[in-house]
Amino acid sequence: MPPTPPFVTPQQLSAAHQWRYAVKAFDPEAKLTDDQRHALAHTLQAAPSSYGLQSWHFVFVTDPEVKAELQPHSWNQPQITQCDTLIVLCRKTQIDETSTTEYMERISEVRGDSLESLDGFAGMINTNVMSQSATAKATHADHQVYLAMGFVLHAAAMLGVDSCPMEGITPAEYDRILNLTDQGYATVLALPVGIRSVDDPYLAKAKVRFPLDDVVQFV
């Protein structure tokens, strides 16, 4: 029998949130298992996106030489080379009615719906998304990538995988080193994942959050 909801208790959830922090030092000798790496890949594949368009791509970098090449374009942060896997989160650069068609074809393939029966949905996406300016579409795709980042960060914590989300990178250099531009992708964010070092000075520090009443109101 596959697991059924609830998949965790509020206590397990809260413990995972307390355990998670932005790791400053990974243990460079500690490796994730293939199961853990694949669970993260499948998490990103399963992440929600606007209309389900999935205008994104994810690169899992484990090659030490490639990580070393990326480090100077990441404010020289040590996590880039210490981590087990550097996940690079990208958006697609070509987002147009062809994207809609490819998505409809995939829906038809998975669900067996005829393409004709999807015309209304395709028209809605073309009107609401594809007719926008290239800049607006890139912004929209960036937003989805941030959402995917939040989704996979939470999943990693649930799995007991350490992480450190990073905006402080030079996307154009990532695009060049990973040859992303020719493939139609643009780097947005980086996410080193691995196992925390017992020597990370941030490990013992209390999590700092504003009080719940300052952040959440009930109406």
Considering only residues 117 to 156 of the shown chain, the ones binding a second copy according to CB under 8 A are 139, 142-144, 146-155
The count of other CB atoms within 10 Å of the CB of residue 129 is 21
With CB under 8 A as the contact rule, the residue among 125, 158, 169, 186 that binds a second copy is: 158
> Does 198 help bind a second copy (rule: CB under 8 A)?
no
The DSSP letter of residue 162 is E
> Does 201 help bind a second copy (rule: CB under 8 A)?
no
Stretch 161-190 residues interacting with a second copy (CB under 8 A)? 165, 167, 178
Query: Which residue type sits at 95?
Result: I
Please state the closest distance from residue 28 (CB atom) to a second copy, in A.
18
Please state the closest distance from residue 54 (CB atom) to a second copy, in A.
6
> Does 215 help bind a second copy (rule: CB under 8 A)?
yes
Both tokens of 121, joined, read: 């949905």
> Nearest to residue 25, comparing CAs of 78, 86, 88?
78
Both tokens of 1, joined, read: 């029998």
CA-CA distance, 160 to 181, in Å (whole number)?
A: 33
The count of other CB atoms within 10 Å of the CB of residue 208 is 5
Stretch 72-91 residues interacting with a second copy (CB under 8 A)? none
Stretch 22-41 residues interacting with a second copy (CB under 8 A)? 22, 35-36, 38-39, 41
The DSSP letter of residue 61 is E
For 124, half-sphere exposure in the C-beta direction (CA atoms, 13 angstrom radius) is 10
Size of interface with a second copy, in residues (CB under 8 A): 81
> Does 203 help bind a second copy (rule: CB under 8 A)?
no
Alpha helices in 52-187 (DSSP H): 64-70, 79-82, 97-111, 119-125, 134-159, 171-177
Please state the closest distance from residue 75 (CB atom) to a second copy, in A.
10
Candidates 24-32, 50-58, 76-84, 130-138: pick the segment binding a second copy (CB under 8 A): 50-58
Stretch 51-70 residues interacting with a second copy (CB under 8 A)? 52, 54, 56-63, 66
